[in-house]
Structures are given as C-alpha cells and as structure tokens.
Amino acid sequence: MHFNTYGGNGAELAAALVNASDFSPAAVRETLTANAMWRTDVTPAQAAELAAWARRLAPVFGEPDLGVQVRLINELLEITASRPHISTHDGLEPHLHFFSTEADIVSRAKDTTAGGLAMAVCFSDGRRLGRCDRTGCETVYVDTSRNGRRRFCSLTCANRVNVAAHRARDVACRPCFG
C-alpha cells in the first residue's frame, strides 16, 4: 500500500518513535532526520517530551478494534496544534502539511505523527498499523505490503515463529517409544 509522502512519513515516524529505546538528543535527532523531518536539533527536554509522546502513540499500533483505534488517534489529534494546509513549495505538486513551518521540532513531530496515523487509518481501516505477532516482541510497524497481511516486524521474527512451529509439529509427529 502506498501512502502519500506526509501520511507515510508521519506513520513511519510514529513507528520509529514507538520502537526507539534511546531518547538521547543525538538518537532522537537521528530518528527524526531518518524520517524526513527537518531542523531536527532537540534539547534534552524536547527529547524527553518526544519519549512521552511515543508512549501515547504506542497503543494505536496493533489495536484490533477500529473504533478504539480511531478514538486513540482523535485524542492525539486533539493534543496537537495541527492545522493542515496544502503547500506547493519547491516546485512540488500540491501536498498536505500538518504543521506550521515556524513550529518547534516537538510540535512538528507531534503534528506529523498524529496526522500520519490518521491518514493511515483512513486509507486502510487501521489494519496497516501493526505490532509484531512474535511472543515477546513489541516492535510496531506500518504495513506497506501489497496484500496488507504482514504479521511480523522482520523476517527474523517471522522465521523464529515458523521454525518453532515446525519443530513443535515435528515433535508431535514422532512416535512415542516408551
């Protein structure tokens, strides 16, 4: 599934923040930059604020009840100062911005992630905002696969589950020699 640039980037940034374990200013700056944000310098206080925001984003991923998921995202949107507007800057085609260009990085990240999650739910009924099915793995992801049936955060987790299932079947099929 293809989300537009801001919806996809916002949802991917939300997943990256939820999955982050290091909220030092340098790590947060790297995460923001890797997810197409600009002016990404953050203070320790701003990094801590984004860590708290990540905890607010987390329940949206993997929520099986669309009504609950919509409510959670609407609560995020109420917190943000988002005022979506259409832009054609730098010769680009018209596209949505969820934030004021003058806003600080925390506001822009909150606006972008809440707006991106909203667009992801609207385009996919929420099924594309997943949480890894491997027991013990809490990694979240945005499913951009063609068929929308992704269940794991990575091939590593998928392989672990499939190998364990194969071994369990193999053990169950062996005759008991007692």
Q: How far is CA 107 from CA 37, 60, 76, 111, in A?
A: 12, 19, 12, 6
Mean pLDDT of all residues in 159-164: 72
Token pair belonging to 12: 């991917």
Token pair belonging to 140: 């979240």
Question: pLDDT tens-digit profile of 105-118?
Answer: 999 999 999 999 99
- How far, in whole angstroms, is CA 124 from its chain's centroid? 14
Confidence label for 6 from pLDDT (cuts 50, 70 and 90): very low
Q: How far is CA 92 from CA 2, 84, 87, 95, in A?
A: 18, 17, 8, 8
- What is the C-alpha to C-alpha distance for residues 33 and 39, in angstroms, rounded to an integer? 8
Q: How many residues does the chain have?
A: 178
Question: pLDDT tens-digit profile of 20-45?
Answer: 999 999 999 999 999 989 899 999 99
Question: pLDDT tens-digit profile of 42-55?
Answer: 999 999 999 999 99
Q: What angle do CA 121, 125, 126 make, to 5 degrees?
A: 55
Token pair belonging to 145: 């696969």
The helix (run of H) or strand (run of E) holding residue 34 is: helix 25-34
- What is the C-alpha to C-alpha distance for residues 40 and 29, in angstroms, rounded to an integer? 5
